[in-house]
Amino acid sequence: MAEGAIYKSGWSLDDIDWSRFDASKIEPSLLAAVKAASLVEYNAHDYVAYLTRVYDGAPAQQIADIERWGREEIQHGLALGRWAEMADASFKFESAFARFREGYRPAHFISGEGSVRGSRRGEMIARCVVESGTSSIYSAIRDYTNEPVLKEIAGRIAADEFRHYRLFYEMLERDPEPDLPLWRKLWVAVTRVNEAEDDELSYAYYCANVLPENVASTPYKRAQYARAYHAKAMSLYRRHHIDKLVKMVAKPAGLDPSGKISALASASLWRLLSFRAGLRQAV
Ligand SMILES: [Fe+2]
Ligand SMILES: [Fe+2]
């Protein structure tokens, strides 16, 4: 697929040009992060069940949109998992996923009604934060990797994630509930950003990268595997990815995406990432 290709929605695994796979262009640390991402994406079944509970009684089109969103996330997992299996013969996507699913079940997936964010509007703000994060990280992977198949997959996924953001932002805008106060919107956005550091990605990283036969000798340490994933993910970003990410998060949080607070947040986040990555580029 040509550089800068525009990917439409509704693609399938057969649309990916797998024949272009180039094993010499695999970077082990990026492969490790992609394996972890494949498990998290594939776990969308539980998110769909949770969101349809939150939207119980909503118009059929909204439920259909949520289900389509879930199918696309599952496909992201399948595409990344298949690529990771091509890149590393020891990686078994389905069995790694089974271990991940066994050990990662947040309480709100299992039981409960309504949104853990307190309202549908809160839920949509949180979803917009997540889709901002995924669209930016897959854009960063697309721009970073030289492996042609991963570049194509990341490009296709990034385009889907932008569309997901738009879908949830429109659901937020259309919601008949009264608008939330600014402090509440900011609270939801900030707490959801912080949850990106939670158990989900670190445990996925562990299940994807520690072979079953080594589990007994290599116990799970949340902080260690969270650091491993985030160190790689953060090193992929370039300044324009961060600027876009902050603007996307600012909008549903009730801030002006082109305003001073957003610009300041963008510059501060970039400085932090550069520092962490040891790059120390000028801001
Ligand atoms: Fe996704
Ligand atoms: Fe998404």
Q: Which tops the pLDDT comparison, 212 or 93?
A: 93
Ligand nearest to the CA of 77: 1
For residue 57, report the distance from its CA to the centre of ligand 2, in Å: 23
Q: Which tops the pLDDT comparison, 82 or 233?
A: 82
For residue 215, report the distance from its CA to the centre of ligand 2, in Å: 30
Mean pLDDT for the chain overall: 88
Q: What is the mean pLDDT of residues 162-181?
A: 92
pLDDT one-digit tens code per residue, 215-257: 999 999 988 998 888 888 888 999 899 999 888 988 888 888 8
Per the domain annotation, does 57 fall within a domain?
A: yes
Is the pLDDT confidence value at 281 over 60?
no
Per the domain annotation, does 274 fall within a domain?
A: no
Per the domain annotation, does 83 fall within a domain?
A: yes
Q: What is the mean pLDDT of residues 261-276?
A: 76
The boundaries of the domain holding residue 228 are 23-236
For residue 81, report the distance from its CA to the centre of ligand 1, in Å: 12
Is the pLDDT confidence value at 130 over 70?
yes
Q: 137-171: buried (b, 16+ CB within 10 Å) or exposed (e) per residue?
A: bbbbbbbbbebbbbbbbbbbbbbbbbbbbebbbeb
pLDDT one-digit tens code per residue, 29-74: 999 999 999 999 999 988 898 899 989 889 999 999 999 999 999 9
How many distinct helices (H) and strands (E) make up the chain? 12, 0
Ligand nearest to the CA of 48: 2
Per the domain annotation, does 179 fall within a domain?
A: yes
State what percent of residues in the chain have pLDDT above 90: 55
What CATH number does residue 44 fall under? 1.10.620.20
Query: How far is the C-alpha of 191 from the C-alpha of 187, rounded, in Å?
Result: 6
> What local confidence, expressed as pLDDT, does residue 280 receive?
39
Per the domain annotation, does 276 fall within a domain?
A: no
Q: What is the largest CA-CA distance in the chain?
A: 54
pLDDT level of residue 11 (50, 70, 90 thresholds): very high
Is the pLDDT confidence value at 1 over 70?
no
| Tally of domains within the chain | 1
For residue 177, report the distance from its CA to the centre of ligand 2, in Å: 24
Sequence letter at residue 140:
A
pLDDT level of residue 110 (50, 70, 90 thresholds): low
Per the domain annotation, does 152 fall within a domain?
A: yes
| Cα distances (Å, whole numbers) of residue 283 to 2, 243, 256, 265, 279 | 31, 12, 21, 12, 11
> What local confidence, expressed as pLDDT, does residue 96 receive?
97
The whole-angstrom distance between residue 117's C-alpha and the CA centroid of its chain comes to 18
Per the domain annotation, does 245 fall within a domain?
A: no
* Residue 88: both structure tokens together: 């590393």
Per the domain annotation, does 111 fall within a domain?
A: yes
For residue 282, report the distance from its CA to the centre of ligand 1, in Å: 32
E strands, 138-217, where?
A: none
